[in-house]
Amino acid sequence: MTADFASLPFWEALTPSEREALQALLAQEPTLARALGCWEALQVHLRERLEKAVPDRRLLVLYALARSGREALLTPEERAELEAARPALEQALKLLSGLEIIVEDIASACADFEEAWAGHFAGKQPLRPASERRPRLAQRRLAYRWVVRVALSSVVLALIGVLWWHQTAKRVVWTVAEGAVAVRTLADGSSVRLVGPAVLRYAERFDRRLQLEGQAFLEVQPGNQPFVVETPEAVVTVLGTRFGVRSAAGQTEVVLVEGRVALRGRGRTEAPVILTPGQRSRVIAGQAPEPPTTVQVSKALLWTGLHIFDGMSMREIASYLSGLYGVTIHVDPSLAAEPIVGTFTQDQPLPEILQALAATLGARLEQMPEGYRLLPLR
């Protein structure tokens, strides 16, 4: 598993030789690299939740100052902003208990700062009239903000650490060996078809977030929160859909059958690429996704062990199956343009698949010396 080194909080503090040593260590220790990947995935997850709940984190700082009795430090404009945002902030505090810890820590940091400030300047300067103290107040306000930024960053990192430990301590690890295929239904009703070699990880208390190394075909049930699949190179976000994901050799490929997905590179800040049914995109490690291209889904997802027909005409399906099985499949012209939606496993016998297709079309299947033909019912 590769790591997005530039996103690490301490990366900029390392010397070039230390960075090189870290990269070499992670290349030699895949377990450590996987742990780092989990850490980064959790950072992204927590950051997304925080940004969704509190888009402007400055308002959270203002809220903490006001709640701790320091509202006098705010300008009139800041007070007005805070009052407008207060209902949303209080709702966010209810939803994310970790934010309450941040608010308390900001107040604590401010108290420590005031104590240090008072101790440093005690007895050094005479008390001046209020009219002359305004510059001092402005200076203190700037200092408050510096202290609060440090406190906020420290607490967020601590929360990430706690959540990372909590989630990795109670995770399901599902491994499928090379050449094997396994199917599992998740707690929300979504299903995953894992094609080996592959490893899938997710929280025991399922939160609709998966970490994938290898190949998987997913059928996602709609839910109140997005369904996210993370690979070493990419993050795929969906609501309800069917799609295939392949992660190997430093790149991730996504093919969409049904629904809509957003695809972005790990650690990238660009807007995600949106895929619509019948499209494919690829992400190379450290890069933004490639623009989507149109593909024939059945061929692009042949590796799944499934025949996936996403509205293909019966003529196209006959051509596809003829090429795979090396037999002639003739389709009557009256049936050739009919669209078919369906999925079959590749270990099903061809006559069984064709019989099911004939039943769907209200047709009949005949076997010939060189193959098969589909004809209208008499």
| Tens digit of each residue's pLDDT, the chain (378 residues) | 444 555 555 555 667 777 777 777 767 776 666 666 666 666 666 666 666 666 677 777 888 888 777 777 778 888 888 888 888 878 777 766 566 767 777 776 776 666 666 655 554 444 444 444 444 344 444 444 444 444 444 444 444 444 444 444 478 899 999 989 999 999 989 999 999 999 999 988 888 899 999 999 999 988 878 899 999 888 898 867 899 999 988 899 999 999 889 898 887 778 888 999 999 999 998 888 999 999 999 999 999 999 999 888 999 999 999 988 889 999 999 998 999 888 899 988 999 999 999 888 888 898 888 889 899 887
DSSP 77: H
Inter-residue contact 292 to 280 (CB < 8 Å) = yes
String of DSSP letters for 103-125: HHHHHHHHHHHHHHHHHHHTTTS
* Angstrom distance (rounded) from CA 281 to CA 272: 11
> Please, what CATH class does the domain formed by 305-376 belong to?
alpha beta
Give the Cα separation of 113 and 146 in Å (integer).
10
3-state secondary structure (DSSP) of residue 337: coil
Please tell me whether residue 276 adopts helix, strand or coil conformation.
Answer: coil
Dihedral angle sign, alpha carbons of residues 152, 158, 159, 164: positive
Q: How many CB atoms lie within 10 A of CB 374?
A: 24
Please state the pTM of the whole predicted model: 0.54
Establish whether domains 172-298 and 305-376 are of one fold: no
Tell me the β-bridge partners of 341. Answer: 310
CATH of domain 172-298: 2.60.120.1440
- In the chain, domain spans: 54-169, 172-298, 305-376
